[in-house]
Structure 1
């Protein structure tokens, strides 16, 4: 059984670039104010969702493991 991720978008940081939707349309959507939202708060680990988080120009997307809460993205400094 694979990892489950908790995905959040900080809408105070999101600039509505749409890169997340471009990278992972099954993982993210933009609302009418062009703010990103995950389709689901929890999902199976997914390379496209990780690529969307990595490609966000303002790092508004955070991913943590559902079990244990360890950070997947952004990397801890």
Structure 2
């Protein structure tokens, strides 16, 4: 299944060498798998710590953004 996903991604980006190189690096290092696994764990913990999840969509999106920044800090 991994190879078919990679072929699809390569097809989507067409001739962009930069994007293809970036995707190749992420595929080879399993970067995205690791990042999303960590993001999921942090989000699950936040939900456990906050059983009364705000109903306000903007508040929830801001919380998700904050968690994502802890998992994948900008360089």
TM-score calculated relative to the size of structure 1: 0.25
Over alpha carbons, which structure has the higher Rg? 2
Which structure has greater helix proportion? 2
TM-score calculated relative to the size of structure 2: 0.26
- Structure scoring higher RCO (CA < 8 A, sep ≥ 6) equals 1
